[in-house]
Amino acid sequence: MSGTPLDSAALDLLFREARTYYTWDKTPVGEADLKALYDLVKMGPTSANMSPARFRFCASDDAKSKLSACVGANNKAKVLAAPVTAVIGFDLAFADKAPELFPHMDVRPWFADPVMARETAFRNSSLQAAYFILAARALGWDTGPMSGFDKAAVDAAFWAGTSIETNLICSLGKGTPEMMWPRLPRLAFEDAAAIL
């Protein structure tokens, strides 16, 4: 399905003017908001539709406190202040959902090798995390993705006894301008790409 390109305002919202936020106002992010967000995220493409990302939305004070104990010193205040911080994981047993997600053929043998399964789960959950950021922006939310955390501690706190591991965390809400600096440079096309 092809479509009309987004207008300049939409591109600003998603990319050109969008920023990573570190401080948050008190606007709540409710259950309906999180479900609407997930309903967009789940539509992004993944390998054989396997959708390995798993989400834990830390919205309660208890969940935020538990997560803040697992993050670096610079990230504690961000987690505690944000209305919600998502723990985005990847399920190493994602292929168990194959009969539901790819019903027209059995693709489970494609992912039988544990190394291949891990690589697929990590790569595709990373894609889904990017969809999460863009979907949040499209819905009018700001995001603050973070990788400064103790992975083993987050895994133990949120995924214990499962086949799921943490990829990254991402705060969600309405960002405020505190702690913002001018946008950092990006690589020029010639520095990052080549047309072959």
Please state the φ and ψ torsions of residue 57, each to the nearest 5 degrees. Answer: -95, 110
In a domain, 30, yes or no: yes
In a domain, 22, yes or no: yes
User: pLDDT at position 1, please?
Assistant: 62
pLDDT, tens only, 11-70: 999 999 999 999 999 999 999 999 999 999 999 999 999 999 999 999 999 999 999 999
- Domain count of the chain? 1
In a domain, 189, yes or no: no
Mean per-residue pLDDT, 137-160: 98
What residue numbers bound the domain in which 32 lies?
Answer: 9-172
Q: How confident is the model at residue 2 (pLDDT cuts 50, 70, 90)?
A: confident
pLDDT, tens only, 95-123: 999 999 999 999 999 999 999 999 999 99
In a domain, 137, yes or no: yes
Stated as kind and residue range, the H or E segment containing 49 is: none
Least confident of 50-54, 131-135, 149-153, 178-182: 178-182
pLDDT, tens only, 79-96: 999 999 999 999 999 999
Residue recorded with tokens 């992975």: 151
Burial class (CB in 10 A: 0-12, 13-18, 19+), 141: buried
Stated as kind and residue range, the H or E segment containing 142 is: strand 142-146
In a domain, 1, yes or no: no
In a domain, 132, yes or no: yes
User: Among candidates 62, 85, 59, which has minimal Cα distance to 149?
Assistant: 85
**CATH number of the domain enclosing 58:** 3.40.109.10
In a domain, 179, yes or no: no
In a domain, 128, yes or no: yes
DSSP sequence for 90-102: EETTGGGGHHHHS
User: pLDDT at position 179, please?
Assistant: 86
